[in-house]
Amino acid sequence: MCGDLNFPTSLQLNEAERQQVVAMWNKPRAAFRRGQCIHELFEAQAERAPDAIAVTFEDTQVTFKELDARANQLAHHLQHLSVGPEVFVGLFMERSIEMIVAILGVWKAGGAYVPIDPAFPLERSAFMLADTQVAVLLTQRHLVERLPQHSAHLVCLNTDWDSVASECWDNPASPVVPDNLAYTIYTSGSTGRPKGVLITHANLCPLLHWGYDCLHLTPADRAVQFLSYTFDASVWEIFIALTSGSSLFMVPREIVLDPQAMFDFITSHHISVIHATPTQFQFLVALGQPIPSLRFACIGAEKLTLDLVKRSHALLHPDCRIFNMYGPTEATIMATTLEIDRATFNQYQDLTSVPIGPPIANTRCYVVDPDNNLQPAGTPGELFIAGDGLARGYLGRPSLTGDKFGPSPFSSGERVYKTGDQAMWLPDGSLEFLGRIDYQVKLRGFRIELGEIEAVLDQHSAVQAAVVLAREDDPAEKRLVAYVVPQPGQAPTISELRDHLKPKLPEYMLPAAFV
């Protein structure tokens, strides 16, 4: 639900309560080696184990040394095309080893990548290319006909590699520093156009270091990669594995869409690490078949129910660790997490969903009322996030950036991001997610501004007004429903309305029903 959550009457914290929510539940900054970029963490791993298998896709495998060499060749080629710090490079690719080469190559050249799903409507892809003004566009030959008109230099990695292969295998010299951009991922926008979130290397590196300390992945681990690269969690999914020395197994798209095929892939490849939304994880659990190889199940992007965890405990190895992870794109993938083992499960049995946990290292969280007063445990409020993961802001949207990011009322020199999420501290220092205070929903892990769908519907000449809701008539299935008031004397059909939306919105934003 959204738009109907109310704040309680503000409470005045005493000094002990203030110290609890500001200091005790927000841990001191964790020490780690700063001043590195993400690709440098990968390069260090390639030096440690050059001959280990880095990525497997279908019948093809590449070692860390081979992946590093290909990325270096592409980086040199991109630098000849004037790619460097703060320069955007578009990626219009399907899941493949080439996709990983492209991301690393852009970073090694010093640039920032912009992922565009070839399944996106032409108009949306065109907007993203124009908004970022990409200098170079990396793609695959069979996808070229799906591209909108653009002025970028086109490089097809599967057919133009001969022009790249002559480049040097060595790491390129680059002036890129951690405060430079690493990527821009677009999220839904309430005005009818998506907004690009600007993430730097310095935003992502602390998250990876936290992952090393928390998960302790090893070269023996096998991580699955099946999230869309336009979904920010894919960055974590890929690079927590590759910078830890684990082997990454990329899943073909047709397998991702079939729960039984996905289960067969995980078991046949002895996958030990999976990152998924609760919806995706539920499909696997619903099969009722044991998954003994899993050591880590990292779940996020939607509410995780205790019922799903309970059912998964019966199918997973007793030592498998399940993490409930929470974080908006603007806070770089993850801000809080809770490991939900059998003891923790019993502790939260009175709740309907799993808490999102305490803040991770180098992240601070505050629950506040509309007047920016801190709220104590047991009192709902809006969740503010501070720390190393905070994005630079929104591309070309200074007003929106100023509305959502700003100076912290609680600590000098600190910035906060106002999430729009309603949360509440629990007595043990974990946070419980309660819903939205605005008109935004999460559906299958994707963040959707209902206002964006409404704005596009309103552009139809036969529509007088439109409202879109996320209905959950079946507790296991949330779906979008559009309610439309036609112009006097007009009666647009459902197919006409759907055809109007398809060129402008991605598939996951199309309403399942029209009323």
Give the strand order in the sheet containing 88-92: 153-156, 136-139, 88-92, 112-115, 181-187, 195-200, 393-394
Neighbours of 202 (CB within 10 A): 21
Question: Nearest CA to 312 among 351, 350, 343, 340?
Answer: 340
- Report the distance separating Cα 181 and Cα 107, nearest Å: 9
- The three-state DSSP-derived secondary structure of 380-400 is CEEEEEEECCCCCEECCCHHH
At residue 10, does pLDDT exceed 50? no
At residue 6, does pLDDT exceed 50? no
Confidence (pLDDT) at 339: 92
Antiparallel, parallel or unpaired: β 393-394 and 195-200: antiparallel
Rounded to 10 deg, the angle between the 64-80 and 38-48 helix axes is: 140
Tokens of 195: 């907004």
Report the range of poorest mean pLDDT among 27-41, 202-216, 362-376, 479-493.
Answer: 27-41
- Strand partners of residue 501: none
Are the C-beta atoms of residues 338 and 324 closer than 8 Å to each other? yes
Give the model confidence (pLDDT) of 139-168 as tens digits.
999 999 999 988 899 999 988 898 899 899
How far does the chain reach from its first CA to its final CA, in angstroms? 19
Q: Among residues of the chain, what percentage have pLDDT more than 90?
A: 57
Determine the residue type at 107: W
Task: Report the pLDDT averaged over residues 243-261.
Answer: 93
Tokens of 251: 């899943």
At residue 348, does pLDDT exceed 70? yes
- Report the distance separating Cα 128 and Cα 162, nearest Å: 29
Confidence (pLDDT) at 409: 87
Confidence (pLDDT) at 481: 87
DSSP, res 218: -
- Strand partners of residue 113: 89, 183
Instruction: Label residue 91 by pLDDT band (50, 70, 90).
Output: very high
- Report the distance separating Cα 195 and Cα 405, nearest Å: 14
Q: How many CA atoms lie within 13 A of 357 on its CB side?
A: 23
Instruction: Label residue 460 by pLDDT band (50, 70, 90).
Output: confident
Tokens of 83: 């790619």
Percent helix, strand, coil in the chain (nearest 5)?
Answer: 30, 25, 40
∠ CA 54-56-57 to the nearest 5 degrees? 145
Confidence (pLDDT) at 445: 62
Rounded to 10 deg, the angle between the 38-48 and 201-215 helix axes is: 40
DSSP, res 286: H
Q: How many CA atoms lie within 13 A of 254 on its CB side?
A: 1
Residue found under tokens 């199309």: 510
Confidence (pLDDT) at 3: 41
At residue 370, does pLDDT exceed 50? yes
Question: Nearest CA to 505 among 289, 186, 261?
Answer: 186
C-alpha dihedral (216, 218, 221, 227), degrees to nearest 10: 60
DSSP, res 358: S
Task: Report the pLDDT averaged over residues 387-402.
Answer: 95
DSSP 289-308: --BTT-SEEEEESSPPBHHH
Are the C-beta atoms of residues 108 and 79 closer than 8 Å to each other? no
For the chain, give the mean pLDDT. Answer: 89
Neighbours of 408 (CB within 10 A): 15
Instruction: Label residue 11 by pLDDT band (50, 70, 90).
Output: low
Are the C-beta atoms of residues 242 and 219 closer than 8 Å to each other? no
DSSP 41-93: HHHHHHHH-TTSEEEEETTEEEEHHHHHHHHHHHHHHHHHTT--TT-EEEEE-
Neighbours of 351 (CB within 10 A): 12
- Report the distance separating Cα 468 and Cα 457, nearest Å: 10
Neighbours of 365 (CB within 10 A): 26
Q: Model pTM?
A: 0.85
Confidence (pLDDT) at 210: 92
Tokens of 176: 């890129």
Residue found under tokens 């951690």: 178
Give the model confidence (pLDDT) of 417-433 as tens digits.
999 999 999 988 999 99
DSSP, res 353: B
Neighbours of 450 (CB within 10 A): 23
